[in-house]
Structure 1
Amino acid sequence: MTQTDPTVTRERFAERPSSRYGPRRAHARRPKRRRRLRRTVLVLLAAAVVAAGGTYGWAETRLRRDVDLGAYGDRPPPGEGTNYLIVGSDSRDGLSEDDVKDLHAGGGGGRRTDSMMLLHTGANGATMVSLPRDSWVTLPGRLDTTTGKIKRPERDKLNAAFSYGGPELLAHTVERNTGLRVDHYAEIGFAGFVNIVDAVGGVRMCLDRDIKDEKSGADLREGCHTLDGRQALAYVRQRHQEREGDLGRSKNQQKLLSTLAHQAARPDTLFDPTRIGPAAQAGLDTLIVDEDMSLRDLSRMFRAVQSVSGGHGRRLNVPVSGIGVPTSKGNVLKWDPEKAPRLFADLRHDRPPAA
């Protein structure tokens, strides 16, 4: 395949109107060329081939393919389209003690989920669905590694699945409760998230109110700001000032992730080696993916997330029927028994979701 010359590509960008609301004639003349160019540069970003000064083979070896999605068996049949489970964990790998303190990342050991999103791609574009970590779901039967005994299926919060059985049990739990087959898994920890945001020069976010949260360290003013990695992490982790609690936090996470993907795909980031090189390396070094994930799959996932930010996809939350419902496991969020299954059925058959 012929490689795109970055110089020629920059000239093509320069030929476009400076504003997205420029003359319609200029936009109409080059729709195909713009689509081809967009696909090319996004693949370059995700694969870190040209811009990062490496090779495809090098980038392939950087992926940590640690997750066996078929570990528990009894999986739903493949549906139409592709489903990615995107997870932000509170892993502190790569953080010093000072980093942990500065990022307000202390508390608890091990590795737990901090955010979960289901990304579906297919003939009708991309749909990103947040799965709040306090969702009240059924955990499948499993081996209790602490006692060596088989545990029966039980009701618990969704993020408990990761605590009990890591990515494999989490993916199996998502499949069990949605009926969707998880085709690919991607996880990034605190350090990786902060490094990527900083490497691309921060992420531009507009806030409709002041946000101050002692637990996450968020201290942000109303208005538009470029958040650095530490501020962005605090923003997506805070939920105590959200009227909808965990659901509001999920919406913030969707918004920031899609905005970050859109910003990383801008020409001034893609073709600046001082930005895209470190960003690509930070992403590849801190990602944990499933055994079958390739760089091509990763680039498709990135393009889908970027398309959601660009207005060519959908951002949804699982329809709920109760927020803050008290249970033996604390307050939980209950999915709507009619609307949630309908949403997952639409995704399974690659139909535009009604919700």
Structure 2
Amino acid sequence: MAQRPPSDSPDNSSGASSDGERYDWLYGQGGAPRRDEGGDDATRMMPTQPRPGTGSSGPSPAPTPAPTPRPAPTPSQPGTTYRSSRRGFRPRFRVRYLLLVLLAYIVFLVAVPVYAWTKVDEVAFEPSGKRPDDQPGTTYLLVGSDSRAGLSKEQRKQYGTGNAVGQRTDTIMLLHTGSGPNLLLSIPRDSLVEVPGHGTTKINAAYAFGGPKLLTKTVEQDTGIKIDEYVEIGLGGFVDVVDAVGGITICPQQAMVDKLANLDVKKGCQEADGTTALAYARSRHTYATGDIQRAQAQREVVSQVGSKAISPWSLLPWRYWNLNMAATGFVTFGKGMNPARAAMFAMAMTHVNGENGLTCSVPISDLAVHWDAERAPQMFKAIINDDTDRIGKNLCSPSGLPSSVTG
């Protein structure tokens, strides 16, 4: 019989250990005993494991381990693409689309005023000769023209403007902006003043005699205030602007029926479209003080348009477009105005009510209309010195009359 090799022999395929215990080639030390101890080529048996619940009566296959689920990526992981139940849908593309829409809207907000500016008319307004020195703040001369140019026969009938020819100024205002509250100051058109080259006459005659240049020279000479910018408002476009902002609120203190202006409104606050707002601003025959009270209504309408223009609703694309394009039909700027200054003017018009502004009339002494010899120069000096925060009720009144007269 052949001899078994020693335990440390390199041919020890039986796996016997040095301490005499058998070494199984598959299961390691202490494996299952051999069926046949007769040699290295004897058949080796693997141990069997009983199936749960069946005892040890037969072999059973080893259980297959369940696959470990792969954790889903968290939303905080950068660069992860998420997919919905629909194939190929990527939510991050939606963000890109929103950004593109936002960018297009910003471009729209900038481009529309720039385009509208190309449609605006300009007029020379700076007079020749000696003028007041530069003054702090900015003062705009705001003129409402009653020109019927551009109005059709139907529009003249609808607006109650009649067929008058020529061009006069129904509205003359100064808008001052600076370190203090914004000031919107009405100059009654019937104010008796010295018009250069024409003696003492109504101030609106200056426009009829010499247009914007003579009117500017008259205002500067009689008030000492330097006019920095000029803005002229026409009749037809005014209606479009009011309609473009969705109408305004007017608050007449009495019921008003004026057939000449096509006006019929009740007392109290109410909504008004462009046609009604224009009639309300033009009517003077229903007032006891005529043009004095009409100037109050004009300031009310102008400030209301300004307030509505900065409403969030005005940023809706169609309303924003209509507002900008309507303005080109009724506004004429003085030469030298640029889009930035025009935007400053528009913003200033929105801050002439309440704590942020003052609305007044030139102090007058009577309904003739003569400027008050004491209070009017004080008002003008406050504007010249950009000192509007010191203008009190004794100077700033709706009618311009002293408080002792108006009560």
Give the shorter-chain TM-score range: 0.7 to 0.9
Q: Give yes or no for contact 2:169–2:204 (8 Å, CA) kept in 1.
A: yes
Equivalent residue runs for 1:1-355 within 5 Å: 50-51=108-109, 54=112, 56=114, 58-70=115-127, 72-141=128-197, 153-269=198-314, 271-309=315-353, 311-323=355-367, 325=368, 333-352=369-388, 353-354=391-392, 355=395
What root-mean-square deviation, in Å, do the aligned CA atoms of Structure 1 and Structure 2 show? 2.1
Q: Give yes or no for contact 1:52–1:277 (8 Å, CA) kept in 2.
A: no
Helix, strand or coil: the match of 2:366?
Answer: strand
1:214 Cα deviation (Å)? 1.7
Amino acid at match of 1:337: A
1:241 Cα deviation (Å)? 1.8
Unaligned regions of 5+ residues in structure 1, if any? 9-43, 142-152, 326-332
Q: Give yes or no for contact 2:249–2:270 (8 Å, CA) kept in 1.
A: yes
Provide the TM-score with structure 2 as the length reference: 0.68
1:76 Cα deviation (Å)? 1.2
Unaligned regions of 5+ residues in structure 2, if any? 1-98, 396-407
1:125 Cα deviation (Å)? 2.5
Counterparts of 1:317 and 1:6 in 2: how far apart (Å)? Answer: 49
Helix, strand or coil: the match of 2:298?
Answer: helix
Amino acid at match of 1:128: L
Counterparts of 1:285 and 1:222 in 2: how far apart (Å)? Answer: 31
Amino acid at match of 1:85: L
Helix, strand or coil: the match of 1:62?
Answer: coil
Amino acid at match of 1:198: D
Deviations 1:35-78 (A, max 9, x none): xxxxxxxxx9xxxx73485363x3332221212313x3221111
Counterparts of 1:180 and 1:50 in 2: how far apart (Å)? Answer: 38
Q: Give yes or no for contact 1:194–1:232 (8 Å, CA) kept in 2.
A: yes
Amino acid at match of 2:364: V
Counterparts of 2:124 and 2:222 in 1: how far apart (Å)? Answer: 20
Larger RCO of the pair (alpha carbons < 8 Å, separation 6+) = 1
Q: Give yes or no for contact 1:66–1:291 (8 Å, CA) kept in 2.
A: yes
1:317 Cα deviation (Å)? 0.6
The range that moved more, 280-289 or 184-193, is 280-289
Structure 2 match to 1:146: none
Counterparts of 2:101 and 2:136 in 1: how far apart (Å)? Answer: 39
Counterparts of 1:55 and 1:293 in 2: how far apart (Å)? Answer: 14
Deviations 1:232-254 (A, max 9, x none): 01000111222322111111111
TM-aligned CA distance change 1:273 to 1:346, over 3 Å = same
Q: Give yes or no for contact 1:52–1:278 (8 Å, CA) kept in 2.
A: no
Helix, strand or coil: the match of 2:251?
Answer: strand
TM-aligned CA distance change 1:6 to 1:130, over 3 Å = farther
Amino acid at match of 1:231: T
Helix, strand or coil: the match of 1:102?
Answer: helix
Q: Give yes or no for contact 1:88–1:115 (8 Å, CA) kept in 2.
A: yes
Amino acid at match of 1:54: V
Provide the TM-score with structure 1 as the length reference: 0.77
Counterparts of 1:181 and 1:54 in 2: how far apart (Å)? Answer: 32
Counterparts of 2:289 and 2:346 in 1: how far apart (Å)? Answer: 28
The range that moved more, 302-311 or 211-220, is 302-311
Counterparts of 1:52 and 1:286 in 2: how far apart (Å)? Answer: 21
Q: Give yes or no for contact 1:193–1:229 (8 Å, CA) kept in 2.
A: yes
Helix, strand or coil: the match of 2:365?
Answer: strand
Counterparts of 1:317 and 1:139 in 2: how far apart (Å)? Answer: 20
Aligned-residue sequence identity (percent) comes to: 37
Helix, strand or coil: the match of 2:271?
Answer: strand
TM-aligned CA distance change 1:87 to 1:62, over 3 Å = same
Counterparts of 2:108 and 2:181 in 1: how far apart (Å)? Answer: 27
Amino acid at match of 2:133: P
Count of aligned positions = 291
Counterparts of 2:316 and 2:147 in 1: how far apart (Å)? Answer: 29
Bigger Rg, structure 1 or 2: 2
Higher strand proportion: 1
Higher helix proportion: 1
Amino acid at match of 1:339: R
